[in-house]
């Protein structure tokens, strides 16, 4: 088999440290490849609210943005909480709110009988358990060439986790139904906003189309435990199939509204537009996720002989239908096996392709197709904020088979 | 990087234009230095040296009260006695000037965009100052 020529460009993007590694004598390509995909030791300590994370599994971009290193994602579908990425838009509230989680209050507005309910009361209304992919809008920002502001996430601002909570529909029914004219579900986070700033400038308040009322759950449990503060406990809105930002943490208000939130994060933030344009309400909002997959093993080097290439794939609001794997930079593809269990349309699916590769260097990547026939794109056109790089070209890994 | 707000902004003074030309020179130098990163540290020191005491005072004033909302409401920066905790600590992040400028222009996440709140001159001043005091440019 020929050893394919691989594209190195995307390994050179991101933290300055990567480029330093490539210019320091004695450090070869392997060193910066390792750092680029996150297999080197952490250099920044974990923030207090996430001190329980596994340090060697995390890239600490800032104290509010922690990424899961690519090879730490396994094949049993669910990502353990202690390696799940964290993206907080604002400093989390005081941890006292999770110490007495059942007492947390949520105001329901835009229903026939508006009122405030505690988590304790919500637990009496119904329970659903839903595995979903949580993915930050900026996942893959570090794979774009333009240097968009924000953390240069690679693949690790995503994880599949299992939520338990009350279906929003059950709450709405208990409160007499949705008010007439409502078109959005608008959810407000409970972060404490200091004096000296107009709340709408930093408020985490996101609106999603009202059609989601039948799939949203208000979760108090994640991966079998109360939702940790770092992930939005005591109560988090889960909008299955939607980018992370819509899954509002510490939710304190749920309103059925005629218009989208007035907060900047809704009006001008999280809007997809060409590079150089300002955000505006008429641009697409970061709502439903795209079909996407990537390989999680091997990622740097592996012994020759039998190799189990594996990774994860998801389709946003649609289940994954198939995954193909290429070991020659997309010139040819082989059908991968989807692993059980199938955790449903909003979860990700692990896949595996057994191969035997002689020594050499390979560009390995994967391409997913969802149930509607949407195929993962080859490349992602630049967008101003560097949202969701989904192209299989730069999601490829350069692997040395020893 | 969009600089669409620079030209029509009447708030940019003649002194500002001079300052911008200096800063643009530095930015160009910084861009070239990405190829030769060993030279990055001297560049940071140049950025700091480019700021007079008076300019540093202006930068601190912007950061602590005038930026609207002031950087200090959300960010920590010990050199300016900024103690905000809502957003990332600049002392921990140690951004370079380009990173600060991009953040001011784009407003990543929930951070406000400052392109219509500050002049380009003011943003360059803040960027150079933050890079100098938090970005590893200390002597």
A178: domain CATH number is 3.90.420.10
Provide the residue ranges of all domains of chain B, joining segments of one domain with +. Answer: 14-134
Q: What is the pLDDT of residue B68?
A: 82
Q: Is A12 on the interface with B (CB under 8 A)?
A: no
pLDDT band per the 50, 70, 90 thresholds, residue B29:
very low
Whether residues B110 and A201 touch (CB distance < 8 A) is answered with: yes
The ipTM assigned to this model is: 0.81
**Other residues' Cβ atoms within 10 Å of the Cβ of residue B90:** 28
Q: Is B70 on the interface with A (CB under 8 A)?
A: yes
pLDDT band per the 50, 70, 90 thresholds, residue B89:
very high
Answer yes or no: is pLDDT of A183 > 80.
yes
Q: Of the given ranges (A132-141, A294-303, B45-54), which has the lowest mean pLDDT?
A: B45-54
How large is the angle between the packed helices B40-49 and B14-33, nearest 10 degrees?
170
Q: pLDDT digits over A187-244, tens only?
A: 999 999 988 889 899 999 999 999 999 999 999 999 999 999 999 999 999 999 999 9
Distance, in Å, from the CA atom of B28 to the CA atom of A288, rounded to the nearest integer, reads 39
Q: pLDDT digits over A329-351, tens only?
A: 999 999 999 999 999 999 999 99
Whether residues A90 and B2 touch (CB distance < 8 A) is answered with: no
Distance, in Å, from the CA atom of A121 to the CA atom of A362, rounded to the nearest integer, reads 55
Whether residues B110 and A63 touch (CB distance < 8 A) is answered with: no
Contacts of B91 (CB under 8 A, 6+ apart): B76, B77, B78, B134
Lookup result for tokens 């059980």: A340
Residue B31 belongs to what H/E stretch? helix B14-33
Q: What is the pLDDT of residue B16?
A: 41
**How many A×B Cβ pairs under 8 Å?**
90
Contacts of B8 (CB under 8 A, 6+ apart): none
Q: pLDDT digits over A271-320, tens only?
A: 999 999 999 999 999 999 999 999 999 999 999 999 999 999 999 999 99
Q: What is the pLDDT of residue A44?
A: 81
Distance, in Å, from the CA atom of A53 to the CA atom of A72, rounded to the nearest integer, reads 13
Residues of chain B found within 8 Å of residue A384, distances taken between Cβ atoms: 106
Answer yes or no: is pLDDT of A150 > 60.
yes
CATH code that applies to domain B14-134? 1.10.760.10
Is A160 inside any structural domain? Answer: yes
Is A355 inside any structural domain? Answer: no
DSSP A261: -
Q: B33: phi > 0 → left, psi -120 to 50 → alpha, else beta; which?
A: alpha
Asked whether B136 and B41 are in contact (CB, 8 A), the reply is yes
**Other residues' Cβ atoms within 10 Å of the Cβ of residue B122:** 20
Average pLDDT over residues A30-46: 63
To the nearest whole number, what is the mean pLDDT of chain A?
91
Whether residues A89 and B110 touch (CB distance < 8 A) is answered with: yes
Is A148 inside any structural domain? Answer: yes
Residues of chain A found within 8 Å of residue B69, distances taken between Cβ atoms: 196-198, 201
Asked whether A171 and A123 are in contact (CB, 8 A), the reply is no
Q: Is B50 on the interface with A (CB under 8 A)?
A: no
Distance, in Å, from the CA atom of A22 to the CA atom of A28, rounded to the nearest integer, reads 7
Average pLDDT over residues B87-114: 93
Contacts of A238 (CB under 8 A, 6+ apart): A130, A132, A163, A165, A216, A217, A218, A219, A247
Rg (CA), chain A: 21
Answer yes or no: is pLDDT of A157 > 60.
yes
Average pLDDT over residues B85-106: 93
Q: pLDDT digits over A80-127, tens only?
A: 999 999 999 999 999 999 999 999 999 999 999 999 999 999 999 999
Whether residues B112 and A91 touch (CB distance < 8 A) is answered with: no
Answer yes or no: is pLDDT of B14 > 70.
no
Residues of chain A found within 8 Å of residue B36, distances taken between Cβ atoms: 23
Interface test with A, best of B109, B111, B134 (most A CBs within 10 A): B109
Answer yes or no: is pLDDT of B70 > 60.
yes
Q: Is A60 on the interface with B (CB under 8 A)?
A: no
Please tell me which residue of chain A has the smallest CA distance to B85: A91
Is A77 inside any structural domain? Answer: no
Asked whether A205 and A187 are in contact (CB, 8 A), the reply is yes
Is A191 inside any structural domain? Answer: yes
Q: Is A23 on the interface with B (CB under 8 A)?
A: yes
Domain count across chain A: 1
Q: What is the pLDDT of residue B35?
A: 37
Q: What is the pLDDT of residue A35?
A: 56
DSSP A167: E
Interface test with B, best of A202, A280, A286 (most B CBs within 10 A): A202
Q: A283: phi > 0 → left, psi -120 to 50 → alpha, else beta; which?
A: beta
Percent of chain A with pLDDT over 90: 87
pLDDT band per the 50, 70, 90 thresholds, residue A186:
very high
Answer yes or no: is pLDDT of A7 > 50.
no
Whether residues A276 and B69 touch (CB distance < 8 A) is answered with: no
Answer yes or no: is pLDDT of B1 > 80.
no
pLDDT band per the 50, 70, 90 thresholds, residue A36:
low
Range of the domain at A229: 86-267
Q: Which of A44, A89, A201 sits opposite B112 (nearest CB)?
A: A201
Residues of chain B found within 8 Å of residue A191, distances taken between Cβ atoms: 86
pLDDT band per the 50, 70, 90 thresholds, residue A41:
low
Whether residues B93 and A62 touch (CB distance < 8 A) is answered with: yes
Whether residues B92 and A63 touch (CB distance < 8 A) is answered with: yes
**Other residues' Cβ atoms within 10 Å of the Cβ of residue A360:** 15
Residues of chain A found within 8 Å of residue B114, distances taken between Cβ atoms: none
């Amino acid at each position: 088999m020929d050893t394919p020529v691989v594209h190195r460009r995307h390994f050179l993007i991101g933290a300055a440290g990567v480029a330093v590694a490539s210019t320091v004598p004695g450090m070869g390509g392997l060193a910066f490849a390792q750092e680029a995909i996150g297999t080197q030791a952490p250099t920044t300590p974990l923030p207090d609210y996430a001190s329980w994370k596994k340090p060697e599994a995390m890239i600490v971009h800032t104290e509010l943005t922690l990424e899961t290193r690519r090879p730490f994602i396994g094949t049993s579908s669910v990502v353990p909480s202690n390696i799940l990425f964290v993206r907080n838009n604002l400093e989390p509230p005081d941890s006292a709110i999770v110490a007495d989680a059942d007492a947390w209050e949520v105001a329901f507005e835009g229903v026939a009988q508006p009122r405030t309910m505690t988590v304790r009361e919500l637990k009496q209304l119904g329970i659903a358990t839903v595995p979903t992919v949580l993915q930050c809008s900026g996942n893959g920002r570090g794979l774009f060439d333009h240097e968009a502001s924000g953390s240069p996430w690679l693949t690790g601002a995503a994880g599949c986790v299992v939520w338990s909570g009350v279906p929003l529909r059950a709450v709405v029914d208990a409160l007499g139904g949705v008010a007439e004219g409502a078109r959005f579900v608008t959810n407000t986070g409970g972060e404490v906003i200091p004096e000296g700033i107009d709340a709408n400038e930093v408020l985490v308040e996101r609106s999603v189309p009202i059609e989601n009322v039948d799939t949203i759950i208000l979760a108090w449990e994640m991966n079998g435990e109360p939702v940790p503060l770092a992930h939005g406990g005591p109560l988090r809105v889960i909008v299955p199939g939607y980018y992370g930002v819509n899954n509002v943490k510490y939710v304190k208000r749920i309103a059925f509204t005629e218009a989208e939130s007035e907060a900047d994060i809704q009006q001008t933030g999280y809007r997809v537009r060409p590079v150089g344009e300002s955000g505006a309400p008429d641009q697409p909002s970061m709502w439903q996720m795209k079909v996407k997959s990537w390989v999680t093993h091997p990622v740097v080097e592996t012994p020759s002989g039998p190799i189990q290439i594996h990774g994860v794939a998801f389709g946003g609001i649609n289940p994954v239908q198939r995954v193909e794997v290429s070991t020659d930079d997309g010139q040819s593809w082989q059908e991968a096996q989807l692993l059980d269990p199938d955790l449903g349309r909003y979860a990700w699916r692990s896949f595996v392709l057994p191969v035997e590769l002689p020594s050499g260097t390979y560009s390995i990547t994967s391409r997913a197709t969802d149930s509607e026939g949407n195929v993962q794109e080859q490349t992602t056109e630049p967008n101003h904020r560097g949202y969701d790089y989904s192209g299989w070209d730069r999601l490829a890994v350069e692997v040395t088979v020893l | 990087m969009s600089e669409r707000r620079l030209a029509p902004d009447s708030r940019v003074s003649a002194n500002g234009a001079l300052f911008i030309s200096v800063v643009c020179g530095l930015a160009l130098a910084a861009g070239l230095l990405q190829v030769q990163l060993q030279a990055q540290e001297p560049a940071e020191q140049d950025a700091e040296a480019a700021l007079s005491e008076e300019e540093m005072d202006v930068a601190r004033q912007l950061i602590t009260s005038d930026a609207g909302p002031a950087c200090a409401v959300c960010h920590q920066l010990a050199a300016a006695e900024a103690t905000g905790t809502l957003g990332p600590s600049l002392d921990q992040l140690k951004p370079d000037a380009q990173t600060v400028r991009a953040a001011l222009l784009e407003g990543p996440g929930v951070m406000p965009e400052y392109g219509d709140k500050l002049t380009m001159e003011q943003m360059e001043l803040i960027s150079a100052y933050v890079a100098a005091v938090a970005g590893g440019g200390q002597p």
